[in-house]
Amino acid sequence: MIPVTIESVRVSLVSQQRVVILAETGGDRYLPIFIGAFEADAITVRLQGAALWRPMTHDLLLRCISQLGGEVLRVVITELRNDTFFANIHVRQNGEEHAIDSRPSDALALAIRAGVPVYVSDAVMDQAGGFPDPAPWLETPAETSESPEEDVGIFRDFIDSMDLGDLEE
């Protein structure tokens, strides 16, 4: 098992889909997992340290586990099958450890509240983990096919076509 941290939750500007980014602890790999908007919000609230006046669903789940004498031990992203990730929440109750099947997003939202470690199976990280691509905005003008003037040409045409005579008064 590979220990990871919840690096961030991001939103695709194109599709508005949310993705949680898990970063390999002591390594260079990242694991992106697309998640729902509500789960993304539940994770983000905790990542940002925001306080809510009412408990969210994952806060309630943690309270239920605790009130029933259980303790969340860890979360494991266990499998990737047909483009779907699977996870287990490991809970100890009455001296017994239970692995509870969960969606990764719910497991991560619970893990961040319980302050427990998150792991990814070696097979999942090998299959879906990756190294970050170099940032495309670091290209120098010599490496691009268009000059900076060509990049803004469409905007320059639009601005030149505007009648701004009323702004001079």
CB 77 within 8 A of CB 128: no
Is 83 inside a domain boundary? yes
Is 33 inside a domain boundary? yes
Q: CATH number for the domain including 118?
A: 3.10.690.10
- 3-state SS record for 27-80: CCCEEEEEECHHHHHHHHHHHCCCCCCCCCHHHHHHHHHHHCCEEEEEEEEEEE
Is 59 inside a domain boundary? yes
Residue 162 confidence (pLDDT) = 54
Is 158 inside a domain boundary? no
Is 81 inside a domain boundary? yes
Is 152 inside a domain boundary? no
Query: How do 118-120 and 30-35 pair as beta strands?
Result: unpaired
Is 126 inside a domain boundary? yes
Number of domains forming the structure of the chain: 1
Residue 76's Cβ-count burial label (10 Å; 0-12, 13-18, 19+) is buried
Residue 5 confidence (pLDDT) = 96
User: Domain limits at 89?
Assistant: 2-134
Other beta carbons within 10 angstroms of residue 108's beta carbon come to 29
Per-residue pLDDT of the chain (169 residues; tens, 9 = 90+): 999 999 999 987 888 889 999 999 999 999 999 999 999 999 999 988 888 888 889 999 999 999 999 999 999 999 999 999 999 999 999 999 999 999 999 999 999 999 999 999 999 999 999 887 654 433 444 444 454 455 555 555 555 555 555 555 4
Is 154 inside a domain boundary? no
